[in-house]
Amino acid sequence: MSAAPVLLEMRSITKTFPGVKALADVNLVVREGEIHAICGENGAGKSTLMKVLSGVYPYGDYSGEIRYRGEEARFGDIRASEQAGIVIIHQELALIPGMSITENIFLGNEPRTGLAIDWKTAQRRALELMKLVGLREDPDALVKDIGVGKQQLIEIAKAFAKDVKLLILDEPTAALNESDSQQLLDLLREFKTQGITSIIISHKLNEIEAIADSITILRDGRTIETLDVKADGVNEDRIVRGMVGRDMESRFPDHTPNVGEVFFEVRDWTVRHPIATDRLVCKHANFSVRRGEVVGFAGLMGAGRTELAMSLFGRSYGTWLSGQVFKDGREIKLRTVSEAIEHGLAYVSEDRKAIGLNLLDDIKTSIVAAKPAKIARHGVIDEVAEHRVAEDYRQELRIKTPSVDEGISKLSGGNQQKVVLAKWMFSDPDLLILDEPTRGIDVGAKFEIYGIINRLAEQGKGVVVISSELPELIGLCDRIYTVFEGTITGEVARADADPERLMKQMTTTKKMPV
């Protein structure tokens, strides 16, 4: 592979923002026809580097040189880089939900006859492109009506409509479940055989290990090293070492479980979909949580785990049909979010930016947001108490910020997640439901969050963890429930948990003997 000619070379790229040097002397060499991964923790400069490459930060905005196909490239904007065949697919998909697949594929790039859009050609080419990326859908279907995995494929089709030579994917599988991810990775391999070069940015190191030919690791805005996957015998631990600058002895902190009595129990929980009234998103779910226990919920995307959690949390999702909740042996009613909070439930949502946090808030306001009454007297907020509470959590959870008066939006993903955890810890919960608590968070912050979860369990709280990453569940949980299409299909103790068994139960309609 290393014999292949160099397609792209970025030489000592330096990019500064007011107050921060985001990239310092970064070098990147990508050879033709390879899959090149870029790894690094959040804030290491991966996305900035790609923005420099794609012309989001135009020539002159950075220092250093980009050589592409043997010539120096000076892209003034995204359009210029796309014309050269460099197409970037961002983590947040740039699709218009209310438009059809065809319309989206050719958005801004419509085939025309004169002034009018040539829809016939568009339709025909859309079908070709969809076939190329393995997307079987009606080209007239609206984007909002199809799943995230397929939306990702539309983005790729869109890239092909622009005659792509170098495809850049920023966290392409972050929102995908395992089978969709697998399909996407297979597709990249296929493109490789067709001579298309890809750059992939991902936190999922197992995927990178499986797919990449070479890996460039960034840390603190600098190039640390470039590894040849086959020649250097790279594995996940090796990548992690490069990213964090030392060996991580373990991906999970030490923890001795101290599990007590069952204190929280859900029986026969059934919930209907909010719009499709003939669909049940939870079907007669029964589960229990013990004091001091970390309970996992494994399932594919859309299995109904989030729906179950949110419907429990004050009926925040769907229509409740049946089911009871018992806490300490007594039935409790959780009809509204405030009732759920009063009864000691906390729900940390999977999408912290969309529904977990008010990004306009500062840190201290966010931390007290779930139970402001605790720091208020007669409805008037005690600012000193608020500040003290926030300061305590800042130290306890090691939230990286100069001050708790800072805005939430200035924090990195991992630190925002810690703020959300602080917010719900402050609400004095007995049961915390954490929905994808480490999504989009780098290795170091993940480790810290696992530590927080363990500490909560040690304090005798019940913790429910919903996660799409099986290794995470196996490493963290005392017990794991598997969910498939709204049904709890089984229950596995930590000692018996292995990925194959879980995966089997996550994809079966049959209820396993418990």
Partner 1 sequence: MSGLQDLKKNLFGGTTSVGRQFGMIFTLVAIILLFEVLTDGLTLTSGNLIAVVSQYSYILILAIGMLMVIVAGHIDLSVGSVAAFVGIVVAKAIQNFDLPWPLGIALGLVVGALIGAWQGFWVAYVGVPAFIVTLAGMLLFRGGNQFIGNADTVPVPEGFRTIGAGYLPEVGPATGYNNLTLLLGLIACLAVAWREWRSRKTRQEMGAEPAPLWISGLRLAVMVGVIIFATLRFAGGRVGTSLPVSGIILIGLVLIYSFYTRNTVSGRRIYAVGGNARAAELSGVKLQRVNFFVMTNMGILAALAGMIFVARSAASGPQDGLSWELDAIAAVFIGGAAVSGGLGTVSGSIVGGLVMALLNNGLQLMGVGVDLVQMIKGLVLLFAVALDVYNKSQGRFSIIDSITRPFRRDEPPAAVPPVESPRQTDKTPAAG
Q: Which long-range contacts (CB under 8 A, 24 or more apart) does 273-277 make?
A: 273/318, 273/319, 274/317, 274/318, 274/319, 277/319
Among 222, 272, 283, 284, binds partner 1 (CB under 8 A): 222
96 binds partner 1 (CB under 8 A): no
Please say which residue, 265 or 351, places its beta carbon nearer to partner 1.
351
Count of residues touching partner 1 (by CB under 8 A): 74
**Region 311-340 residues binding partner 1, contact defined as CB under 8 A:** 313-314, 316, 336-338, 340
341 binds partner 1 (CB under 8 A): yes
- Piece in contact with partner 1 (CB under 8 A), picked from 4-12, 42-50, 95-103, 292-300: 42-50
Which residue reads 């290795």 in tokens? Answer: 443
Neighbours of 37 (CB within 10 A): 27
Q: How far is the CB of 391 from partner 1 (least distance, A)?
A: 7
Sheet holding 479-484, edge to edge: 345-348, 431-435, 462-467, 294-299, 479-484, 487-493
Residues in the chain: 514
Question: With contact defined as beta carbons under 8 Å apart, do 36 and 191 qualify?
Answer: no
- Piece in contact with partner 1 (CB under 8 A), picked from 198-206, 280-288, 405-413, 478-486: 405-413
Among 120, 400, 510, 511, binds partner 1 (CB under 8 A): 400
**Region 3-22 residues binding partner 1, contact defined as CB under 8 A:** 16-22
Q: How far is the CB of 344 from partner 1 (least distance, A)?
A: 13
Query: What is the distance in angstroms between the CA of the first residue and the CA of the last residue of the chain?
Result: 50
Q: How far is the CB of 117 from partner 1 (least distance, A)?
A: 32
**Region 100-139 residues binding partner 1, contact defined as CB under 8 A:** none
296 binds partner 1 (CB under 8 A): no
Please say which residue, 222 or 283, places its beta carbon nearer to partner 1.
222
Q: Which residue type, as a one-letter code, is found at position 340?
A: A
- Piece in contact with partner 1 (CB under 8 A), picked from 73-81, 86-94, 216-224, 481-489: 216-224
Please say which residue, 280 or 399, places its beta carbon nearer to partner 1.
399
Among 121, 123, 288, 412, binds partner 1 (CB under 8 A): 412
**Region 345-384 residues binding partner 1, contact defined as CB under 8 A:** 347, 349, 354-362, 365, 369-373, 376, 379-381, 383-384
503 binds partner 1 (CB under 8 A): no
d(CA 187, CA 420): 36
Q: Which residue type, as a one-letter code, is found at position 253?
A: P
Please say which residue, 7 or 22, places its beta carbon nearer to partner 1.
22
Q: Which residues contact 461 (CB under 8 A, 6 or more apart)?
A: 291, 292, 429, 430, 431, 432
Please say which residue, 251 or 387, places its beta carbon nearer to partner 1.
387
Among 194, 246, 254, 330, binds partner 1 (CB under 8 A): 246
Q: How far is the CB of 417 from partner 1 (least distance, A)?
A: 11
Q: Which residues contact 400 (CB under 8 A, 6 or more apart)?
A: 411, 412, 415
Q: Which residues contact 83 (CB under 8 A, 6 or more apart)?
A: none
Q: How far is the CB of 509 from partner 1 (least distance, A)?
A: 31
- Piece in contact with partner 1 (CB under 8 A), picked from 54-62, 114-122, 213-221, 277-285: 213-221
Residue environment code for 484-502, b if the CB has 16+ CB neighbours within 10 A, otherwise e: bbbbbbbbbebeebeeeeb
Among 226, 286, 288, 508, binds partner 1 (CB under 8 A): 226
State the sign of the Cα–Cα–Cα–Cα dihedral 98, 99, 104, 107: negative
Q: What Å distances lie between residue 37 and 149, 165, 224, 338, 380, CA to CA?
A: 20, 16, 13, 45, 52
442 binds partner 1 (CB under 8 A): yes
Q: What Å distances lie between residue 157 and 91, 148, 178, 433, 438, CA to CA?
A: 16, 14, 21, 37, 30
Q: How far is the CB of 381 from partner 1 (least distance, A)?
A: 5
